[in-house]
Structure 1
Amino acid sequence: MTRENFEEQLLGLKSELMELGDLAKVAIDRSINALENQNVDLALQVIDEDAKINALEEEINENATWLIAKEQPLATDLRKIIAIMKVTTDIERIGDLAVNIAKSVIRIGKREFVEPLNKIPHMASITQKMIDNILLAFNEEDIYKARDVAKMDDEVDKMYGGLVEELMGLMTKNPDYIAQIIQLSFICRYLERAADHSTNISEAIIYLVKGKRYDLNS
């Protein structure tokens, strides 16, 4: 394989990764939209379309493994491929979390919310922004944007703690809503985990550019 051909293959991997990121972003967006509008049909669509994310993840990993085996790349190029494979895993898991949110939406159904949804959509908007920004940072290999995304995770963590505490308090006052409150708590957890995966991608970008591993989730 010539160097030019190798670069083309590498760009192809990166392009597939960005496509995967777009699919995961859409899945999260739709799952939150389904929550806010209690749209069970949209939630079912998120679940059905997860197969596309899983298939593309498998394709990227197969192509990356083939490229390593055929080319036996040097350290810098190998680092790029490893970073792509790691980010692929994190994005696929974000897609899984969107599915989990969709399943919670289905379990909640059409029953009115125990109280108006204000804080959960706000938390979701921050998580969605993290996903948007981290995909841009990866595409540009920009470690400064990557670090900025990691800093946003602190806000999500703080909101998560506050929301779960608030929801637990609602349980004692609204025993008839316990099942719904549990699902809303799960949704908060899924959003917090999606933010963590965005931070993992931040670490992968820094590893890609600098060749050093950093723990930004601590």
Structure 2
Amino acid sequence: MPRETFNYELSRTEADVLALGHMVQSAIVDAVEALRRQDHNTARRIIRDDLHVNACRYKIEHDCLRLIATQQPMARDLRILSAMLAISVELERIHDYAKGIGKITLLIGSDPLIKPLLELPEMAHKAQTMLHQAMLAFARRDVQMARAIPLEDDEVDALYNKLYREVFTSVLNEPTFMEQGSYLLWAGHNLERTADRVTNICERIVFTVTGQMVELDTNNDINVDLSPTSKVTPIQTQSGSFK
């Protein structure tokens, strides 16, 4: 395969990854909006769309593996293909979370919601924004942006903790809220995990550009070089101490 053809195939596969990312971004917000409005038709549509998302992910995997097997790419090209394989898996998992929220909407049915859904839409918006920025960082090969995005995960975690406290209080005051409360916490957990998956995508972007496998761990404020040549020595934290 001539270099020009390889570059075309690589660009086409990357376009498929970016399109999948756009599809998943919409599903996150649509799923929570369907829950808030108790819109069962939208919830069912998101559940059905999961088959298409899975098919897109498998096509990306097939195309990446075909290019690796037939062209034996080296260095940056190989890292790009490896990243697209990993990112497509993360996107498919994120859509699974959206599908899960769609199922929650159907499980709750037409029962009145036990509380206004304030935290969940905000969590969905933040998670969607993180994913949008991550896909933009991948398209631009922007390491600085990729390193900054996981810092927003703390805001998603804080919103989930707030949701947990409010649902817990509601259930204590009215035990019959237990079932729906567990569903709402399940939805919140899916959004919290979405932000974690975006962090994984950002780590792959850093690897694509630099060749370094890093862990963007915002909980411990560490950035660990996991590349084969690294001795994984302590890395200085943002506060100046060492872990």
TM-score if structure 1 supplies the norm length?
A: 0.96
Aligned to 2:225: none
Q: Which amino acid aligns with 1:15?
A: A
**Alignment partner of 1:75 is 2:75:** yes
Aligned to 2:107: 107
Q: Which amino acid aligns with 1:64?
A: C
Q: CA RMSD in A?
A: 1.1
Which structure shows the higher helix fraction?
A: 1
**Alignment partner of 1:121 is 2:114:** no
Once the 2 structures are TM-superposed, how far is the Cα of residue 158 of structure 1 from its aligned partner?
2.0
Structure 2 unpaired stretches of 5+: 220-243
* Contact persistence 2:199–2:216 (CA under 8 A): yes
Task: For residue 155 of structure 1, give the secondary structure of its aligned residue in structure 2.
Answer: helix
Once the 2 structures are TM-superposed, how far is the Cα of residue 3 of structure 1 from its aligned partner?
1.1
**Alignment partner of 1:161 is 2:131:** no
Greater RCO, CA 8 A, separation 6+: 1
Which protein has the larger Cα radius of gyration, Structure 1 or Structure 2? Answer: 2
Once the 2 structures are TM-superposed, how far is the Cα of residue 135 of structure 1 from its aligned partner?
1.1
Once the 2 structures are TM-superposed, how far is the Cα of residue 29 of structure 1 from its aligned partner?
2.0
* Contact persistence 2:29–2:121 (CA under 8 A): no
**Alignment partner of 1:13 is 2:34:** no
Supply the distance in 1 between the matched residues of 2:18 and 2:120 (Cα, whole angstroms): 27
TM-score if structure 2 supplies the norm length?
A: 0.87
Supply the distance in 1 between the matched residues of 2:112 and 2:149 (Cα, whole angstroms): 34
Aligned to 1:47: 47
Q: Which amino acid aligns with 2:46?
A: V
* Contact persistence 2:34–2:102 (CA under 8 A): yes
Structure 1 stretches of 4+ moved >4 Å? none
- Report sequence identity in percent: 34
Aligned residue pairs total 218
Q: Which amino acid aligns with 1:167?
A: V
Once the 2 structures are TM-superposed, how far is the Cα of residue 90 of structure 1 from its aligned partner?
0.4
Once the 2 structures are TM-superposed, how far is the Cα of residue 166 of structure 1 from its aligned partner?
2.5
Aligned to 2:211: 211
Once the 2 structures are TM-superposed, how far is the Cα of residue 45 of structure 1 from its aligned partner?
0.5
Task: For residue 216 of structure 1, give the secondary structure of its aligned residue in structure 2.
Answer: strand
Once the 2 structures are TM-superposed, how far is the Cα of residue 169 of structure 1 from its aligned partner?
2.2
Supply the distance in 1 between the matched residues of 2:208 and 2:157 (Cα, whole angstroms): 26
Once the 2 structures are TM-superposed, how far is the Cα of residue 55 of structure 1 from its aligned partner?
0.3
